[in-house]
Amino acid sequence: MNETSSAPVARTTAPHATPAPAKAPEPRHQAGAGSAGRPTTGQSFLDILQRQGVLAVLILVIVGASFKYPAFHSLDNARGVTVQASFLAVVALGMTMVIITGGIDLSVGSVFALGGVLAAWASQYGFLPALLVPLVVCSAIGLLNGFLIARAGMAPFIVTLATLLGARGLLLSLTDEGGTTYLVPKDSAFADLGQGAVWGFGYPLLIALVLFGIGGLVLQRTSFGQSIFAVGGSSDAATLMGLPVARTKIIVYTLSGLLAGLAGALSAARLTSGVTIVGVGMELDAISAVVIGGTLLVGGAGSISGTLWGVLLLAVIQNLINQIGTLNSSYQSVVSGGFLIVVVVAQRYLSRNRRTT
């Protein structure tokens, strides 16, 4: 009988293995990029075309109109066109930031009109009330939009449509259903803000240019501007990155309301009255200018300079229609709509090519 050896078997307990750190994913080259990650010539051309195509169209329209109508390129006409465009430009500046975040603000037309009425009403108390009252009230409307969208999770279209109706209703209640028109004292400092000029160019234009310069710096040179692009690109990804998504949206909508109110106040100062019928459809003009300028409606991409060119293109088209003389102003909507369709189709085509190049 064989004995089974009873020698103890030594057991070794393996220590708990520390999991190896996850390997970082390899960076993916942009579609159409070369081996070093640099965009190809075709990719760069498509990018430039998407961002600056509206500028090329604007230059072509101006050159063609100048040859056809000699009065078109006069300095007086340029001053008139740019001053009239400055009010829409200020509104479109706020709309640009909203759309880059992937949102929309339909209330700016009514807020613009409300700001003008409030400024005209408050102008009897001096310059500061005439400027501050519309800014405070219109900023509060924008803040409400941002809070409901960012905190309550409501759809931007529904929220801003509701405040569009609310602002217009408040405007009508302040003016007795449009029966009362508040006038700005013509010799007041507030009236000078709308009618004054430097080298023939009105203060509203200069204010708009300064605001666009500040807006461009904010978008391109600050962390807040990068947050705006990140939120528009993907809110979920921005949240995972630790970015303040809700706060960014609230600030953007508040700025949109503030700028719409400021534009309304400047308009009232220039017209020396709070006109109740202005601003109807202005939200659509602002959206058109922003999209024509190259900002994507889905968010995540856009530029302040593109919006400026888009505003000027719409203003030049309106002026050109006036120069023709045989067309009424309603044709501007037809032309603007046509440009908008062409730009949206072109953006879709360019985006598809950038993915497949």
Give pLDDT tens digits for 215-239.
Answer: 999 998 999 989 999 998 888 888 8
Query: For 165-204, how does the pLDDT look when each residue is reduced to its tens digit (9 = 90+)?
Result: 999 999 998 888 777 888 888 888 888 898 888 887 889 9
Write down the pLDDT at residue 326.
Answer: 62
Write down the pLDDT at residue 9.
Answer: 43
CB atoms within 10 A of CB 2: 4
Write down the pLDDT at residue 1.
Answer: 44
Locate 349 and state its tokens. Answer: 């085509």
Alpha-carbon torsion, ordered 203, 207, 209, 214, to 10 deg: 160
Write down the pLDDT at residue 32.
Answer: 39
User: Is residue 280 a contact partner of residue 161, using CB atoms and an 8 Å limit?
Assistant: no
pTM of the model: 0.81
Locate 61 and state its tokens. Answer: 């329209």
Q: 194 — phi, psi (to 5°)?
A: -90, -25
E strands in the chain: 197-198, 201-202
Low-confidence stretches of the chain (pLDDT < 70) are: 1-52, 325-332, 336, 339, 343-344, 346-357
Query: Could you please report the per-residue DSSP string of 35-81?
Result: TTSPBPHHHHHHHHHHHHHHHHHHHHHHHHHHHH-GGGGSHHHHHHH
CB atoms within 10 A of CB 150: 24
- Residue 142 has, within 13 A of its CA and on its CB side, a CA count of 36
Locate 123 and state its tokens. Answer: 């102008």
Q: Which of 312, 290, 348, 350 is nearest to 101 (CA)?
A: 290
CA 257/CA 68 separation, integer angstroms: 40
